Amino acid sequence: MAADNNPWWAGAVVYQVYPRSYADGDGDGVGDLPGLIGRVPYLAALGVDAIWLTPFYPSPLNDGGYDVSDYMDVDPRLGTLGDFDRLIGVTRNHGIRVIVDLVPNHCSWDHPLFKKALAAAPGSHERELFLFRDGRGPDGAEPPNNWPSQFGGPAWTRVPDGQWYLHLFDASQPDWNWRDPRVAPMFEEILRFWLDRGIGGFRVDVAHGLFKDATLGDAADASLTNRPSAYYHRPEVYAVYRDWRLILDSYPADGFPGSRTAVGEVWADSAETIAPYLAPGGLPQVFNFELVKSRWSAPELRAAIDATHAFADGSRAPWVLGNHDVVRPVTRWGKDAARAAALLLLALPGSAYIYQGEELGLPEVEDIPAAARRDPTFRRTGGKVVGRDGCRVPMPWLAGGASFGFSRTDLGFTPAPPWLPQPPGWGAYSVAAQQGDPDSFLSLYRTALRLRRDHPVLGAGALRWLDGPEGVLAFVREPGFAFAANLASEPRPLPPHTEVLLASGPLVTDEAGALALPRDTAVWLAQ
């Protein structure tokens, strides 16, 4: 499909795997790479073009692996580099690419360079790799500035000799000092390490971080913000991505340049804040979180979709309904709405990301006992922010049995319980329970992905809004395709069509006997 000027990622459907919660191949209750390899045929049958793996690197797991202690290895609990290479081989055989997570804003306090910095004296070369400062107030007992941690509390932690170090996230995640000349080359080496192993690209964690205001002075606003600030969206960061782009484009796999992507996780307040990341020669892609932020309302969703047209189409800013950081769409919007949203996601022009379990309609697990919670936000806010564990509960593969098939059971011993508890009834959402049922979430995703591949317009045509009745979100993609969703409470007529290709739920007939869209239902139409 990919033409010279249209790399594979421009229209790709990418499936996000949270490896610890996907499939456990050795019975220790933690998902791993061998487990994932065993599920590649499932992903191929689902019909995705690529997978994005959240961190699988050695880590003390204070933030689900986003606290990396070695950027160029696999956590022994998840497998080996040999397993990673095997994953690349097996996915390639199915035409699936692998995108890996890169965490350049911070590492783990277990990283050898941070351990060295802690052992070294204030002002040392070793400490310069991070952001160590003296505190304020009498005896320096106050943090050096007013910056908040994203996970609650101050962004600074004091070490025994009295200095403080900066961490925009958990205390176990010290921020790198990107103004030190040793940091950029280190990350370029990491980039090449994984590119050389045949990956399709990177997802860049907190891509709006990295550089902080050089004076480390107080922020104008001490509350959490995604606006340009003393610590986010500093203009120095764009040069880093220009350098990375040159490296990505120097890997001309598949016979054309631009085949390796980097998709930035950029949380921002506006299109203007995001646009510079996508300037020529910058990041190939940044996530489009507008659908995550939007309520289930036709005018709001239309505005959310239009918001990105100001700076990028969906190929540069892939669409997302959910990920490992946000409440599951089924719980945010309701089950029927989440099914309709899936058809919206996959009908929009450009690339789309699906978070594992979305295809099963998994809800947020809201009643995880406090003692079982793992997200550092829960601890750092004293439980006020419940955190993100509820969307990270291990996948149900089978309708019953130990951990609903998450862990292999043919190992001759009883597998350990999953690292996060699965609720009773989880098996009803399992792949096994859904795959034979034409009305299941899984069947809806499979059919939509197949149609998306087969229907030429879904790969090309631009979006043109249809002004439908109140509560209807509808657009055409010329020639021959239309999408419509009804978010109003009363049934609404379908736009002109020759055939209903797919519906997210049963349609009804109006008084005149014509097909109509009930509430929270979407259709794909041939025109």
Q: Is 57 in the site for ligand TEU (CB under 6 A)?
A: no
3-class DSSP state of 213: coil
At 107, which amino acid appears?
Answer: C
Taking contact as CB under 6 A, which single stretch among the options 248-256, 321-329, 456-464, 488-496 is the one that binds ligand TEU? Answer: 321-329
Q: What share of the chain is helix, strand, coil (3-state, %, to 5)?
A: 30, 15, 55
Least Å distance, CB 239 to ligand TEU, is 22
Residue 272 CB neighbour total at 10 angstroms = 11
Residues annotated catalytic, as ranges: 205, 265
Taking contact as CB under 6 A, which single stretch among the options 85-93, 238-246, 318-326, 413-421 is the one that binds ligand TEU? Answer: 318-326
Among positions 20-49, residues that touch ligand TEU (CB under 6 A) are none
Residue 190, H or E segment: helix 183-196
Distance CA 491, CA 360 (A): 26
Which of 325, 358, 359, 389 binds ligand TEU (CB under 6 A)? It is 325
Least Å distance, CB 135 to ligand TEU, is 24
Least Å distance, CB 399 to ligand TEU, is 30
CB of 103 or CB of 237, closer to ligand TEU? 103
Per-residue x/- mask for ligand TEU, residues 176 to 205, rule CB under 6 A?
A: -----------------------------x
Least Å distance, CB 451 to ligand TEU, is 30
Q: Cis peptide before 76, with omega less than 30 degrees from 0?
A: no
Least Å distance, CB 171 to ligand TEU, is 12
Q: Is 206 in the site for ligand TEU (CB under 6 A)?
A: yes
At 290, which amino acid appears?
Answer: E
Q: Which of 452, 353, 290, 339 is nearest to 13 (CA)?
A: 353
| Residue 427, token pair as written in the block | 């098996």
Question: What is 363-381 written as a DSSP string?
Answer: PP-----GGG---HHHHHT
* Positive/negative CA dihedral, 467, 471, 476, 480: negative
Distance CA 40, CA 70 (A): 26
CB of 222 or CB of 411, closer to ligand TEU? 222
Q: Is 175 in the site for ligand TEU (CB under 6 A)?
A: no
Residue 508, H or E segment: strand 508-509
Q: Which of 415, 436, 434 is nearest to 426 (CA)?
A: 434
CB of 64 or CB of 418, closer to ligand TEU? 64
Order of strands across the sheet with 97-102?
285-286, 261-264, 201-204, 97-102, 50-53, 13-17, 352-355, 319-320
Which of 267, 287, 397, 475 binds ligand TEU (CB under 6 A)? It is 267
Which of 52, 66, 397, 475 binds ligand TEU (CB under 6 A)? It is 66
Which of 24, 26, 49, 63 binds ligand TEU (CB under 6 A)? It is 63
CB of 326 or CB of 494, closer to ligand TEU? 326
Least Å distance, CB 66 to ligand TEU, is 3
Least Å distance, CB 203 to ligand TEU, is 9
Taking contact as CB under 6 A, which single stretch among the options 87-95, 188-196, 307-315, 324-332 is the one that binds ligand TEU? Answer: 324-332
CB of 52 or CB of 397, closer to ligand TEU? 52
Taking contact as CB under 6 A, which single stretch among the options 307-315, 319-327, 417-425, 487-495 is the one that binds ligand TEU? Answer: 319-327
Distance CA 460, CA 474 (A): 18
Q: Which of 194, 203, 149, 143 is nearest to 173 (CA)?
A: 149
Least Å distance, CB 106 to ligand TEU, is 7
Taking contact as CB under 6 A, which single stretch among the options 235-243, 302-310, 320-328, 500-508 is the one that binds ligand TEU? Answer: 320-328
Among positions 207-266, residues that touch ligand TEU (CB under 6 A) are 265
Angle between helices 441-454 and 335-347 (to 10 degrees): 10
DSSP state of 287: -
Distance CA 104, CA 203 (A): 11
CB of 325 or CB of 359, closer to ligand TEU? 325
| Residue 79, token pair as written in the block | 């497998």
Size of the site for ligand TEU (CB under 6 A): 12
Contact by Cβ (8 Å): 154, 147: yes
Among positions 109-168, residues that touch ligand TEU (CB under 6 A) are 150
- Residues in contact with ligand TEU by CB under 6 A are 63, 66, 103, 150, 169, 205-206, 265, 267, 324-326
